[in-house]
Amino acid sequence: MTHPITPPPELVQKWAEQFEAGRSLYTMFEDIYRAGADQELEACCEYLVRCAQWEPEDVEELRSARRPKPPSLKEQALEALDSCSCDEADSWKLIRRALEALPDD
């Protein structure tokens, strides 16, 4: 009998192949722990809807708080721009305006 949070054999096989292909054990463990934590979060969210009768919006808020999205490339670029010091202020202002005009996706 397997534990309910045991990864499916296909996923275990994929990780084994990645390891054999030279992927670092550290990044593999990160992915493995993340997959287990994601499974646990989904089980908790299902329970909250089914048994605790949470509203789907509240569950989505919990999910977003527990798994925040990484900053977008635009946000990373703006942050990098803020940390730069440059004498060419007009050029940096132009770059900032261009970045801010990009959509947030």
Can you give the pTM of this predicted structure?
0.58
Question: Do 16 and 58 fall into the same domain?
Answer: yes
Question: Do 57 and 20 fall into the same domain?
Answer: yes
pLDDT at 1 over 70: no
Question: Do 15 and 46 fall into the same domain?
Answer: yes
Considering only residues 86 and 56, tell me which one the structure prediction assigns the higher pLDDT: 56
Question: Is 4 among the domain residues?
Answer: no
**Which residue type does 32 have?**
I
Question: Do 52 and 81 fall into the same domain?
Answer: no
Mean pLDDT of the chain: 84
> Of 34, 32, 43, 105, whose CA–CA distance to 74 is shortest?
105
Question: Do 16 and 29 fall into the same domain?
Answer: yes
Cβ(16)–Cβ(32) below 8 Å: no
How far apart CA 68 and CA 71 sit, in angstroms, is 9
The model's pLDDT over 2-33, given as tens digits with 9 standing for 90+, comes to: 667 778 889 889 888 988 999 888 888 888 88
Structural domain including 23 reads 9-66
Question: Do 30 and 54 fall into the same domain?
Answer: yes
Question: Do 90 and 58 fall into the same domain?
Answer: no
Question: Is 87 among the domain residues?
Answer: yes
Question: Do 27 and 50 fall into the same domain?
Answer: yes
Question: Do 14 and 55 fall into the same domain?
Answer: yes
**Which residue type does 6 have?**
T
